[in-house]
Every structure is written in structure tokens, then in C-alpha cells.
Amino acid sequence: SQQGEEDPQALSIQEGENATMNCSYKTSINNLQWYRQNSGRGLVHLILIRSNEREKHSGRLRVTLDTSKKSSSLLITASRAADTASYFCATDAENQFYFGTGTSLTVIP
Amino acid sequence: DTAVSQTPKYLVTQMGNDKSIKCEQNLGHDTMYWYKQDSKKFLKIMFSYNNKELIINETVPNRFSPKSPDKAHLNLHINSLELGDSAVYFCASSQTYNSPLHFGNGTRLTVT
């Protein structure tokens, strides 16, 4: 399976703290994407990082990619209660996306 | 202005029935998808359509059939529903196969 795996499965932090989630995958990729899913809603695209990039920023989000270790991390700085959601990484290979099982993030006000 | 809309949001039906889920996107994207999310939140691709042609078909039972009347629509038909079909089904679209996906809000299917 080329499915990505997020770690940890669940994360609970206080508002204002940083949250770090990791993703590992198995095969070569063209790009890796991170998505957020609020309860009862569809996934929302957050950020895309290409295989030749090592780090990318978008607002409070920072994504890193290490293709030698086949891993990526998503850092959310200065977390807010509204960041409570599940976060998924998705890798593209063979003309399709493979999603992990997600990290459930809870930000306590 | 909902970009990807799917209906119905909830669908409760009995085993053996046939049902359809509709999906429409107004983004002008070339590729549309159906994903199944199980109770553990694992997302698995079922189908994708590019310019009305099926380009991916994972190991999905032939009871499931996608129908695309035009580039903006990709409907999912399910025949002879089984208990194991209970899940949340998401429609998505993208400009190309490796560009960001835009998801609908899902259809929660419950088979009793």
C-alpha cells in the first residue's frame, strides 16, 4: 500500500501552543499535500509541497518535506480553538492521491 | 457559491436497495473523484473521471458505478446495497490529476 501514515493519531494542546503532525509514506512522490477536515465536513486543502522543495510556509502553517526519509511534518503555530480538526497528508503516485488516516487535533481554549 | 456540491447529505436505506448520490462542481475542473471514508476516517479513492473518461477504478465492487453526464457532474450509483457500504462518500474535483482536491461535504450513507 502507498498509503501515508500520520503520527500521532490524536493530539491535544492548549490554545497558543504549537502543534506538530508527521506523515510518512512509502513510494516516490511528485508532491505532498496537507488537508484539514472539520467534523461533518469535507476535506479542505491547506498546502502543497513539491518533491524538490524542503520547506513551505502559509500563514501559521509550516510544512517540511524530507524525501530521503519519505516523511513530512505540518507545524501549526500559535494554535487556536478553531484549528480543532483532523489533518491528513496526501501523496500523489500513479495518477492518484493516497491519504493517511489523519491526526485528530484538539485545541483547548 | 458552493464549489463542489453533493446530494443528499444523509441517506438511510435498507439492504438490497439501489441508491444514487449526485455531485456537481462549478470550478471548471477537468477531473472528478469519488472517495469513501470509513468509520476510522480512512479515505480510499473509488473512481476518478477525466473529461468524461474513467481513468482510475480501484478494487471496488461492480455494484458501484460512476456516471458522468458532463464534465461538471459525476454521480455514484450503488446497486444491491450491503451493510458494509455504510460510510461517508465524498465527491472531489481537481484541475489536473496532481493539483489540489476540492471536496464536497460528504454523503453519510447508512445501510440497515
Give the nearest chain B residue to A104 (CA atoms).
B41
Q: Do B102 and A45 touch (CB under 8 A)?
A: yes
Is the CB of residue B89 less than 8 Å away from at least one CB of chain A?
no
Is the CB of residue B100 less than 8 Å away from at least one CB of chain A?
yes
Contacts of B103 in chain A (CB under 8 A): 42-44
Residue B101 C-alpha cell reads as 482536491
Which residues, 6 or more positions from B2, have their beta carbon under 8 angstroms from its beta carbon? B26
pLDDT tens digit sequence for A38-65: 999 999 999 999 999 999 999 999 999 9
- Residue of A79, A76, A74, A75 lying closest to A108 (CA atoms): A79
Question: Where are any strands of DSSP class E within chain A?
Answer: 5-7, 10-14, 19-24, 31-37, 43-50, 55-58, 61-66, 71-76, 85-93, 96-99, 103-108
pLDDT tens digit sequence for A1-35: 556 788 899 999 999 999 999 999 988 888 999 99
d(CA B73, CA B94): 13
What pLDDT band is residue A97 in, cutting at 50, 70 and 90?
A: confident
Question: Where are any strands of DSSP class E within B51-86?
Answer: 53-57, 64-70, 73-78
pLDDT tens digit sequence for B36-92: 999 988 898 898 888 767 876 768 899 999 998 888 999 999 999 999 999 999 999
Alpha helices in chain B (DSSP H): none
Contacts of B99 in chain A (CB under 8 A): 48
Residue B100 is classified by DSSP as P
Is the CB of residue B27 less than 8 Å away from at least one CB of chain A?
no
Q: Do A90 and B101 touch (CB under 8 A)?
A: yes
Q: Using an 8 Å Cβ cutoff, are B85 and B111 in contact?
A: yes
